[in-house]
Amino acid sequence: MGDHNDIRPPRQVLVLTYWSLDDALIQTYTLPYVRLMQKALPRGSTIHLVTLEKGALPRNGLLEPGLRLHPFRYAPFGIRAIPMILRVLWYGHRLILRERIDTIHAWCTPAGMLGHILSLLTGRALIIDSYEPHAEAMVENGTWSAQGVAFKVLFRWERWQSQRARVLIAAAAGMQGYAERKYGVRGKPFHIKPACVDLDRFTVQCRKEPELVKELGLADKFVMVYAGKFGGIYLDQEVFDLFAVAARHWGSRFQVLLLTGHTMEELLPRMRKAGLDPGLFTIRFVPHAEVPRYMGLADVAITPVRSVPTKRYCTPIKDGEYWALGLPVIITSDISDDSRIIAEEGIGAVLDRLDEVAYEKAVQAIDRLLATSGRQELAQRIRAVSVKYRNFAIAEHIYRTIYGNE
């Protein structure tokens, strides 16, 4: 942590999250950035990480040098969450005073609500990371009602925390305009940090690992991969309708690889509705450490995020992973900066509508892309996009600007 010649006094930082320690959002979307924060902080500094656990509570204590864990039992947002929130606030307030914490660094706006209250109570600086709309997103995906208490409380608190925060770190460039329009936020430090990818783990060398190809029976197959869920912020039956068009286009060579927590039994009704043979599907739920090997079995990937307004301000992690592996991507329109990047760089296809005509157009675009470029040349060209837009060096520079000497 920090440079060996660093003479700055050590600092104490409280990182607030709304996820469990073993959740992929902590392991892949928080801890890598926390380690970059550690590098930027003075030697001897400590980061205190608060998690909200859905399963068994891990023990408090040192996760690794300079990083202490403070876990709490999770409760869903709403009335039932009030005791949890009070426990976190009471403990957090005492922790800030006892450890002389100087900065509260909250991940996303639900945790930012806790950070805002603690900042008000203690006067400590507040930073909101992975800053994107959550309240309106929950309405758009049908989870909350715009007239409901949960939406009104979080939306109001998003405005308060945005105005209170000393620094905002967003996932996409459009978030700055959104914050001005919705929250009245202007003239404060605003950084853009997309969902970065470990470019040493996700590489073109992971493509078509022979033993895994043989194990899953994918030799001579044209594989379309999707890593994620169905429903909510993601398309549902529409994805299977796309698979049906792709199956007609690529014929018996075509195979779908789903890296998902959904089971075959859950997905069978969708397959049947689209007229698809379940034999077309290989379904696996794999730990994130194994994702590059499995994702690398594909020839093309999809990102079926619903094209709702707030998705312009998020960044799907999976796109950077696909790109780092050299995979062309079929994506819905107006998703973060990614839809624009895919169109401008010519590394996939953007769905302008959700119907058979649009699906066929996208499939043909992928065919042309693969036919007009050598596979290795195309893979390297796509990977260069991940190096440009998803490199952890982007995040490292931001944290050094905030916590270091830059």
Q: pLDDT of 22-49, one tens digit each? A: 988 898 889 999 999 999 999 999 999 9
Give the integer Cα–Cα distance in Å for 388 and 169. Answer: 19
Q: Any idea what the CATH number is for the domain that residue 254 is in?
A: 3.40.50.2000
Claim to verify: residue 142 and residue 53 sit in the same structural domain: yes
Does residue 3 fall inside a structural domain?
no
Give the integer Cα–Cα distance in Å for 333 and 352. Answer: 6
Q: Let me know how long the chain is.
A: 406
Residues of the chain with pLDDT under 70: 1-6, 405-406
Does residue 45 fall inside a structural domain?
yes
Claim to verify: residue 128 and residue 250 sit in the same structural domain: no
Does residue 328 fall inside a structural domain?
yes
Does residue 360 fall inside a structural domain?
yes
Give the integer Cα–Cα distance in Å for 29 and 45. Answer: 22
Give the pLDDT score at 375. Answer: 86
Claim to verify: residue 155 and residue 93 sit in the same structural domain: yes
Does residue 5 fall inside a structural domain?
no
Which residues form the domain of 69?
Answer: 12-196+391-403
Cβ neighbours around 403 below 10 Å, total: 23
pTM of the full structure: 0.89
Q: pLDDT of 279-327, one tens digit each? A: 999 999 998 889 999 999 999 999 999 998 888 888 888 999 999 999 9
Q: Is 52 helix (H, G, I), strand (E, B) or coil?
A: strand
Claim to verify: residue 283 and residue 241 sit in the same structural domain: yes
Give the pLDDT score at 4. Answer: 56
Give the pLDDT score at 7. Answer: 78
Structure tokens at 188: 């404060």
Is residue 333 a contact partner of residue 339, using CB atoms and an 8 Å limit? Answer: yes
Element (H, E) at 106: strand 103-107
Give the pLDDT score at 29. Answer: 86
Does residue 115 fall inside a structural domain?
yes
Give the pLDDT score at 406. Answer: 43
Please tell me the total count of domains within the chain. Answer: 2
Does residue 373 fall inside a structural domain?
yes
Claim to verify: residue 191 and residue 222 sit in the same structural domain: no
123-160 b/e (C-beta count within 10 Å ≥ 16 → b): ebbbbbbbbbbbbbbbbbbeebeeeeebbeebbebbbe
Claim to verify: residue 168 and residue 49 sit in the same structural domain: yes
Claim to verify: residue 63 and residue 160 sit in the same structural domain: yes
Does residue 280 fall inside a structural domain?
yes
Give the pLDDT score at 374. Answer: 84
Claim to verify: residue 173 and residue 267 sit in the same structural domain: no
Claim to verify: residue 27 and residue 160 sit in the same structural domain: yes
Claim to verify: residue 94 and residue 167 sit in the same structural domain: yes
For tokens 């194994």, what's the residue? 290
Claim to verify: residue 225 and residue 89 sit in the same structural domain: no
Cα-based distances in Å from 391 to 32, 385, 395, 397: 12, 9, 8, 11
Claim to verify: residue 247 and residue 174 sit in the same structural domain: no
Is residue 261 a contact partner of residue 227, using CB atoms and an 8 Å limit? Answer: no
Q: Residue 215, class by beta-carbon neighbours within 10 Å (0-12 exposed, 13-18 middle, 19+ buried)?
A: exposed
Give the integer Cα–Cα distance in Å for 53 and 20. Answer: 4
Percent of the chain whose pLDDT exceeds 70: 98
User: Which residues on adjacent β-strands are paired with residue 331?
Assistant: 303, 350
